[in-house]
Structure 1
């Protein structure tokens, strides 16, 4: 069964564009957020967020998912 909490995590990660800021917003440690991102990457088969300068930018797949996830969350 899929972990529905990952949808919330993905929504916040995409909104924040930062593991550290998303972790703070969800009251998680940065390492817990990194592990959640790794699980999301495994689940979707996509990197979802890739490094660009000092931040992260969503992949095209992540942008597609953003619309669906925001409706569900």
Structure 2
């Protein structure tokens, strides 16, 4: 049973509701390495699991934050 409750639209609490649910619900105790949105587990897009895409994002991020030129 999901104990997630809507805390109001557009508020900081609404934005934090999934984090609060994951930190406090016994329903997800011991769950690790999963993606959650709106208090439920969601499937990742294949692109999110692509090692080449991840490497490219990492490389671009290093340049953008000034770690590499």
Q: Determine which structure has greater relative contact order: mean sequence separation of CA pairs < 8 Å that are 6+ residues apart, divided by chain length.
A: 1
What TM-score, normalized by structure 1, do the two folds share?
A: 0.25
Q: Which of the two has greater helix per residue?
A: 1
What TM-score, normalized by structure 2, do the two folds share?
A: 0.26
Larger Rg computed on CA atoms: 2
